[in-house]
Amino acid sequence: MALFGRKDTQKEAMLAAKRDFEAAADPDAPGSIRRIRSRVALRAKALLDKTFVEGAQRTERHEQAVVLAINAGKPQPEAPKARAFGTVPAFDHEVMAYLPQDFADRAFDLGRRYQRVEIDGPTAIAYMQAVADELCGVLQVDPPFEAVRFLRDEFPETDDEAGDEEQETESPN
C-alpha cells in the first residue's frame, strides 16, 4: 500500500513542478509570480547541471554495458535518454524539479559529448551557458544564472576569458 502512495505523491510532485515552471514561464504572469519564478529558476539550474552530469555518467555506464553485451554476443542495450523531471536539493530535503524536454535533452547530450571527449571543458561550459541563457529567457530571469559552476572550477581560465570578452564589448573603442 505504501508503494502506491509514494508513486502517487511522486506523480503529484512532478505535476506541481511542471505547473510551477509553466506559471513562471508565462510572459503574462502577474508580478506576484516573481517569488515562484525565482524558486523555479534555482531548481531549473540545479536540474540542468544535474542533467549534464547524468549525461556523462549514464553514457559511461551505457558504453560499458555495450562492451559487455558485444563480448557476450547479446543485443546492445538501448542508449540512455534525458529525463524532464528530477529531484534537486532544497535546504534539508529534496524537491521535484522540471525542465522542458528540449532543455533536458541538450544538457544530457552535452554531458554525453563531454564524457566521450567530443568536446572539451571550455566548449562544454560555453554550450551549457548558452542553454542556461535560453532557459533564463524562457523563465524571464535576468541576469541569467551561471551553468555548470563545478566544471568552471576545473577550468578557471574560462571565467577569465568570459570576463575579458565582456570588457572588450563594453569598451567604447
Residues 38-94 have pLDDT tens digits of 899 999 999 999 999 999 999 999 999 999 999 999 999 999 999 999 999 988 899
Instruction: Tell me which residue of 130, 151, 141, 136 sits closest to 55, measured CA to CA.
Output: 151
The pTM of this model reads 0.83
pLDDT at 29: 80
What is the domain count for the chain?
1
Q: Is 60 left (phi over 0), alpha (psi -120 to 50) or beta?
A: alpha
Spatial contact of 49 and 104, defined as CB atoms under 8 Å apart = no
Asked if the model's pLDDT at residue 172 lies above 80, the reply is no
Asked if the model's pLDDT at residue 167 lies above 70, the reply is no
* Domain around 72: 2-170
pLDDT level of residue 158 (50, 70, 90 thresholds): low
pLDDT level of residue 159 (50, 70, 90 thresholds): low
SS3 119: coil
Q: What is the CA radius of gyration of the chain?
A: 19
d(CA 154, CA 150): 7
Percent of the chain with pLDDT over 90: 73
Asked if the model's pLDDT at residue 171 lies above 50, the reply is no
Q: What b/e readout covers 18-32, taking b as 16+ CB neighbours within 10 angstroms?
A: bebbeebbeeeeeee
Asked if the model's pLDDT at residue 168 lies above 50, the reply is no
